[in-house]
Amino acid sequence: MAHQAHAYHMVDPSPWPLTGAVSALLMTSGLAIWMHFHSTTLMSLGLVLLLLTMYQWWRDIIREGTFQGHHTPPVQKGLRYGMILFITSEVFFFLGFFWAFYHSSLAPTPELGGCWPPTGITTLNPFEVPLLNTAVLLASGVTVTWAHHSIMEGQRKQALQSLALTILLGFYFTALQAMEYYEAPFTIADGVYGSTFFVATGFHGLHVIIGSTFLTVCLLRQMLHHFTSEHHFGFEAAAWYWHFVDVVWLFLYISIYWWGS
């Protein structure tokens, strides 16, 4: 281990970038084959390969950081920059969908009746389930901060409980939103209202599921004693991502659910 005279991490050669690239090829070409030839085998193969890649790649990062000690302060700084840049790219991703929503809703075309919400659309009451969803995510922001402070103070039991509660709140949001989707009086095919609503909230829901998964991995790692009170960047990254998901929801709620109703 002590063969380097610098604090940086020269990673071992890894096969996962290749398997990840191939899985992207299989998923995209598989999507085209599904559409034209009604076969889902190629795409499914790509998905399985993606899951295998993610599992092994992130398992290796945990080994490099927690078991091999490669995540020195300069390396951790790089990881922090990386996570911040990734979240920033996701902000731009959502910005596009908000742009689409405001483009259509600020100047509604005659085909929609010249009004927003468009003629014939029964919107959801923003003060019913959507408001509950807002409370659930805001509460989860509190519990994840509680978890962070517990980890920093070495309070193992509290860290596990608050992190578990955060994840449960995430599942509760997902369940409520799934129910809303099922009961909604409009569909994705209902003009530009349906498109903007379901694409924006749908991608948000996907990010809630990703965030919940990330937090669950952190819960498992906390159970396995991976985090110390000084060094727990994996958890911090998950918490940053979770706060980002919460903020996106607040913008969705105010723009689409409230102003747009």
Partner 1 sequence: MNRLLNVPVAAVRAFSSSSRNLKNKVPEAQKLFQEDNGLPVHIKGGTSDVLLYRATMLLTAAGTCYSLYWLLVASMPNKKE
Q: Return residues touching partner 1 (CB under 8 A).
A: 1, 11-16, 18-19, 22-23, 25-26, 29-30, 32-33, 36-37, 41-42, 45-46, 48-49, 52-53, 56, 60, 63-64, 66-69, 156-157, 160-161, 164, 223-226
Rounded-to-integer distance, Cα 7 and Cα 182, Å = 53
Helices 129-152 and 233-252 cross at an angle (nearest 10°) of 160
Question: What is the nearest approach in angstroms of partner 1 to the Cβ of residue 188?
Answer: 28
- Our CB check for partner 1 shows the closer of 50 and 83 to be 50
DSSP string, 26-60: HHHHHHHHHHHH---HHHHHHHHHHHHHHHHHHHH
**CA 189 → CA 85, 121, 186, 194, 257, distances in Å?**
34, 12, 8, 6, 18
Of residues 15 and 96, the one with the C-beta less far from partner 1: 15
**Would you say 27 or 152 has its CB closer to partner 1?**
27
Cβ 149 to partner 1 shortest distance, Å: 16
Length of the chain as a residue count = 261
The nearer residue to partner 1, 6 or 157, going by C-beta atoms, is 157
CB 217 → partner 1: shortest distance, Å?
A: 16
Cβ at position 160, least distance to partner 1 in Å: 4
For residue 91, the minimal CB distance to partner 1 (Å) is: 32
User: How many Cβ atoms sit within 10 Å of the Cβ of residue 215?
Assistant: 23
Nearer to partner 1, 167 or 192 (CB): 167
Q: Which residues contact 125 (CB under 8 A, 6 or more apart)?
A: 261
